[in-house]
Structure 1
């Protein structure tokens, strides 16, 4: 029998056997009806994470396999937190809880544009943190405030002082000695300068009390004489030698919130980078308002001086609130703005490494269009750009625009009694600032409370890839 015939016979036999099995033997082989077991659906409001499923009425967490945890975003009450931020927040939370035992004073920097000027939002963030974790005092302030913009501390100054601001090109310092606050109070050479610090009657409860006073002085080439009085009693008489580095001098007082009158003299220009008014432990929150700017312009300051000041002040967190000055710029996309912010975010990571940062998105804003008052139509594109670049850097993003009610909310806020927004339909009033601060801190407390559930899993287990 030749090979071709054998192959034909084998083929016929296999075909026949297949026909018999198909007709007379039943197989439960119905792949179209296959179903994978699924859990009951869970409705988690305001959580867009695909990696964590919080089961109702339990303290357990189910983590599906084959999930890339590093890209997880947990959103609670409009606060979007990537995994790296949650790790940093967990560490900060533990430090805040133990600050009284460790005698640490942990700081939070609140950078922003004119939306936060006059401590309008920061005052209430500060009060909320200090009520929860301890601490007191108005925090870091300039010593020269002739317009009395900051209501949380009262400052009076005499002598040949001037302000050099990081955003003022006309009075820019060649030495870039702006420090953390982006501005320097400069006392001209061969002149006497005075400033007086007093507790403010308009300060929030905790901000009105301080015991520790710290003065930060930029590198200087001549000896600086500092004297200080409480009423008519001299309590400070220091001679500060020339230095090429940041100089900090500090004093602690048994008396709460003493009214201190300082007198300074030097043969050379003296740059005072700020004065911190704090308690001996707990948390401090600093208002750093840079009006008219779309970013804090950190690239214009001396990086080494910035880092040194940050190390002295023990920075625990940064709030970053800009965007008001981008609102008039209408564009199909805001890639250019993301580039601007990325430059600043790079510097934040360089100057304050491993510090948790929360980007606070812009608020709603309105204008008159064809005789009709309405929100700017492009605000969501600016908000989206802010959120995208924040999460790319591992920073948290608080969506203030949505938290306050979204499109048209600024109009509603301005119509409240008393109003929560000014009639420019851009800036919040102090009442509105308090509400914005409450929205932010409430979301932050909720995120902190969730950490007790995710600590042992999210930050210790290795994802299955």
Structure 2
């Protein structure tokens, strides 16, 4: 009996000797469905099958091929609060990556890790094999440069396609001439844009802090248009892809026949209508999904102008894998969460399958008039940052948030860092700003990432936007590898302990 127990424990210990472990899994009684075995099969044979299963699920990803391009630049790891709460929340996103990588193991993974899937049970039709990374920021992420590279890296490794949420709002500066991978957006008709920046009060604004609505009829002339149109011109790389979908986030009163979606394959060809493939209704809002055909150049979205016909967002992406959404909102000054009513934003983020939020604001803060007001400006920035991070943490308690520190290279993006301009004390001011971001992140159980030191060593051969994305991806994958190693060891030890208990129980009879 004792020898059997020792053998079982050694079988678990032999996998990883040097990793720490323990998330606290659901139970030692792990389901063994889909594992071929017979009633009289020896316990060690079953253990071999389970170990192979664990090794398959927790397989380490390959090293980032872009590491060679980093040319010896040091990798900047994520930073966590002393209690490690931010690290545990980040593991919830890693569990989503496991689910995306192993869609055939969804039931088993949800049994092993119930917490990330139980916080909001209102949507039973959430996509298990799809997750969004919402990248909120100001000038540094303009024109989808950093997020575009990050999106390409993640979608190469975990699947997915498309740019995600499109820049419908006038708050989102977008210039396709600056990035050939961006879609050109043109709005037609008497759309009324309702934004949190203009109203300065809480409301149902949604992910973009603004939405498009039917015009106020009493203020419209009799010859008003009855529909509003959004035309989307696709870049070449998007035109020939299978599986691309247009997702529409709208008010709950919007009906399927209020929307007309069509595509055009050539400038001279007729438009082809696209029916809605699915509709998911949540409290106060809906998500329509249109499966787009292959080989087309542009999309036309039309919606009838009626009461409550509000359009919150349009997204162009696959329904599997990862999507990184570029949400550049410089005029918001970072107030992108607290302007929304709590339940409404929670449900919309859930409809969008938000799995991770990146928050990078600070470039567009007004510089103080003189040095005596710097301390006051810092206090205001700290207060607003804590307010926003606390708000999103309360809305999505199981969704990790990574605060990205401002860098000292904002002039590379065409703007000046807060408090700095081009004065010699620029670095000191930026460092003070990053310290505020770091403290606020730790107080609200968020993760902090500071790329500035690595950017200082950036050679002229690498674009700083690309470098920032590659450094972040490397930090994310390093943390993911540590998670996989820890979980492989933890699960193996649990199986070894379970086998020891089962052996003891049989021999005690």
Provide the TM-score with structure 2 as the length reference: 0.63
Counterpart in the other structure of 2:196: 166
SS at structure 1 position matched to 2:364: helix
**2:229 equivalent to 1:194:** yes
Whichever of the two has the greater Rg, that structure is 1
CA positional deviation for 1:192:
1.7
Structure-2 change in CA distance of 1:258 and 1:88 (3 Å): farther
Conservation of the 8 A alpha-carbon contact between 1:213 and 1:276:
yes
SS at structure 2 position matched to 1:298: coil
The correspondence for 2:212, drawn from 185, 201, 210, is: 185
What is the RMSD of the two structures over their aligned residues, measured on CA atoms? 3.9
Counterpart in the other structure of 1:94: 95
**2:227 equivalent to 1:227:** no
SS at structure 2 position matched to 1:77: coil
Structure-2 change in CA distance of 1:194 and 1:88 (3 Å): same
**2:484 equivalent to 1:452:** yes
**2:389 equivalent to 1:345:** yes
Conservation of the 8 A alpha-carbon contact between 1:59 and 1:453:
no
Structure 1: stretches of 5+ with no match in the other structure: 1-57, 64-74, 421-430
**2:283 equivalent to 1:251:** no
Give deviations 1:11-65, integer Å, cap 9, x for gaps: xxxxxxxxxxxxxxxxxxxxxxxxxxxxxxxxxxxxxxxxxxxxxxx851479xx
224-233 or 75-84, larger mean C-alpha shift: 75-84
CA positional deviation for 1:270:
2.9
Structure-2 change in CA distance of 1:228 and 1:254 (3 Å): closer
CA positional deviation for 1:278:
1.4
Counterpart in the other structure of 2:358: 319
Structure 2: stretches of 5+ with no match in the other structure: 1-15, 22-73, 107-127, 218-224, 265-270, 494-509
Give deviations 1:138-161, integer Å, cap 9, x for gaps: 111244679753652232332112
CA positional deviation for 1:359:
0.5
The correspondence for 2:175, drawn from 149, 154, 162, is: 149
CA positional deviation for 1:226:
1.5
Q: What is the distance in 2 between the residues matched to 1:452 and 1:356?
A: 17
Q: What is the distance in 1 between the residues matched to 2:155 and 2:240?
A: 9
Q: What is the distance in 2 between the residues matched to 1:338 and 1:460?
A: 44
Conservation of the 8 A alpha-carbon contact between 2:20 and 2:486:
no
Conservation of the 8 A alpha-carbon contact between 1:179 and 1:309:
yes
SS at structure 2 position matched to 1:325: coil
CA positional deviation for 1:373:
5.7
Aligned pairs (5 A) from 1:296-315: 296-315=335-354
Counterpart in the other structure of 1:427: none
CA positional deviation for 1:370:
12
SS at structure 2 position matched to 1:236: coil
Counterpart in the other structure of 2:245: 212
Q: What is the distance in 1 between the residues matched to 2:288 and 2:332?
A: 31
SS at structure 1 position matched to 2:80: strand
The correspondence for 2:147, drawn from 101, 117, 122, is: 122
Aligned length, in residue pairs: 367
Higher relative contact order (CA 8 A, sep 6+): 2
Q: What is the distance in 1 between the residues matched to 2:465 and 2:422?
A: 28
Query: Which structure has more strand as a fraction of its residues?
Result: 1
SS at structure 2 position matched to 1:160: coil
CA positional deviation for 1:93:
2.0
Conservation of the 8 A alpha-carbon contact between 2:137 and 2:328:
yes
CA positional deviation for 1:209:
6.8
Aligned pairs (5 A) from 1:325-404: 325-326=364-365, 328-329=367-368, 331-332=374-375, 334-365=378-409, 375-404=426-455
Conservation of the 8 A alpha-carbon contact between 1:96 and 1:133:
yes
Structure-2 change in CA distance of 1:314 and 1:257 (3 Å): farther
SS at structure 1 position matched to 2:428: coil
Counterpart in the other structure of 1:104: 129
Counterpart in the other structure of 2:56: none
Q: What is the distance in 2 between the residues matched to 1:60 and 1:455?
A: 13
